[in-house]
Structure formats: C-alpha cells, structure tokens
Amino acid sequence: MAVFSKQGLLAELLDRTELIKANTQTFLRLPDEQLFLQPAPGKWSVVEIFGHLNISHESYIRIILTRITQAPDIPPVNEFRSGLIGEWLYTRNMPRPDGTVFKMRTMKAHYPEKEASDAKEVLHQFLSTCDAIDDILRHAATKDLQRIRVPFAGNGFIRLRLGDLLRFLVAHSERHLLQAQRTVSQLPVVS
C-alpha cells in the first residue's frame, strides 16, 4: 500500500491533468483524415482512442459526482492510503518510465464507436471530461478519499477508494495519450 499526502496527491493529479489537456490540444491541429486513420488493421485511430476515454471516464465521473456531492465535508486529513486493488490497477495503467505499457484488454462496454462523425468534437468532449476531473479533484480536497467508495468498471463487487479511482483515471488518460501520440507518429502525413 502506498501512502500519500492528500493535498500533495490532489495537486499532483491536477498538474498531470493539465499536462494531459495541453498535450491533447496538439491533436486539434491535425486534419480530420489523419485523426480517423488506423496505423494498422485492428489498431485504434486517434478518434477511437479518445472515444474510448470519453466512454470510460464519463461513466466514472457521473458516479464520482454523485458520491462526492452526498459525502459530508471532513476536517482536514492529510493522508491517503492506497488500497491493494487500487494500487495494482494504477501500476497496470501507468506508462513505465521507458514509455512502455502493460497490455490490457478493453471491456466491450468501453469500446469506441466505429463511426464517429466529427473528430474534433470527440477531442473537445475529452477536454471537457478532463475539466470535470479537474473540478472533482478540487472538490475532493474537503472529502475523505479513503471512505468514499466507487464501483469499478460497472462491477458492483469491486469498489475502489475515491483516491485510487482518481489516480486510475489520470493514469488511464496518460496511457492512452501516449498511445495516440504513437499512433500519429506511425501515420503517413495527410495534407
């Protein structure tokens, strides 16, 4: 189990979310044709990668907002202890220092739409999702990151501590941002 300063953890996650948003902005400069191209058969395009993030993160954001709104404010607690499952999920999603990631399967419910009509709209939707995560991180400063539990992946059996789920969401975004950057580097330049 990892132990964190609560305020330090929230500040770090906010900083990382801002970096994710800044790096996502670069994709808005690409032509739609490039954003829809797949680097190889069976591999996701940039639009599909961000579509996946939109689907998976939106479901968590709705649940988190409900839980945070209903939870009472607490006196300042300056420690968060990650749970075993939360720590495992985080380390499986977080890109390694060399840029590699663990291979993982995507749940069918989180597969992106194949026929997204507007590439830029998918990217703007992801940026809105990041803004919602920012708001949650700011609001979480007065909440108990350990006691608020959130169902993971629509599974009522696995409930993560709010702090673990927030760490997971940021790592998941970083993982797929790296995937999108690799995808663009493998594509031919479209003019």
- pLDDT tens for 9-23 read 999 999 999 999 999
| 191 domain-assigned | no
Average predicted confidence (pLDDT) for the chain: 88
For residues 41-59, average pLDDT: 92
- Residue 167 in this model has a pLDDT that exceeds 70: yes
Which residue in 164, 168, 184 sits closest to 50, CA to CA?
A: 184
| 135 domain-assigned | yes
Among 9-18, 75-84, 123-132, 171-180, which stretch is predicted with the lowest mean pLDDT? 75-84
Domain span at residue 153 reads 3-184
- If pLDDT is split at 50, 70 and 90, which confidence band does 1 have? confident
Query: In sequence order, what are the beta bridge partners of 150?
Result: 160
CATH number at residue 159: 1.20.120.450
pLDDT of residue 104: 62
Could you tell me how far CA 178 lies from the centroid of its own chain?
12
| 54 domain-assigned | yes
For residues 162-189, average pLDDT: 92
Q: Look at the alpha carbons of 12, 14, 19, 23 in this order and tell me if their dihedral is positive or negative.
A: positive
| 39 domain-assigned | yes
| 131 domain-assigned | yes
| 156 domain-assigned | yes
- Residue 191 in this model has a pLDDT that exceeds 60: no
Distance between CA 182 and CA 87 in Å, rounded? 26
- Residue 40 in this model has a pLDDT that exceeds 90: no
pLDDT of residue 74: 83
pLDDT of residue 113: 66
Which residue in 22, 16, 50 sits closest to 167, CA to CA?
A: 16
Q: 3-state class of 171 per DSSP?
A: helix
Which residue in 95, 53, 87 sits closest to 167, CA to CA?
A: 87
Query: In sequence order, what are the beta bridge partners of 160?
Result: 150
pLDDT of residue 5: 93
Assigned token pair, 52: 């996946």
- pTM tops 0.75, yes or no: yes
Output the CA–CA distances (angstroms, integers) from residue 187 to 35, 37, 53, 86, 124, in the order listed: 9, 7, 21, 35, 22
Matching residue, tokens 């760490």: 167
pLDDT of residue 96: 78
Domains in the chain: how many in total?
1
pLDDT of residue 93: 87
DSSP 95: P
Q: Do residues 71 and 150 lie in contact, with contact meaning Cβ atoms separated by under 8 Å?
A: no
- Residue 59 in this model has a pLDDT that exceeds 90: no
Output the CA–CA distances (angstroms, integers) from residue 101 to 19, 53, 94, 151, 172, in the order listed: 19, 16, 7, 24, 11
| 189 domain-assigned | no
Q: Do residues 4 and 80 lie in contact, with contact meaning Cβ atoms separated by under 8 Å?
A: yes
The answer for residues whose C-beta is within 8 angstroms of residue 61's C-beta and 6 or more apart is 129, 132, 133, 136
| 190 domain-assigned | no
- pLDDT tens for 83-127 read 999 999 899 888 877 776 667 665 554 556 666 678 999 999 999
For residues 23-46, average pLDDT: 92
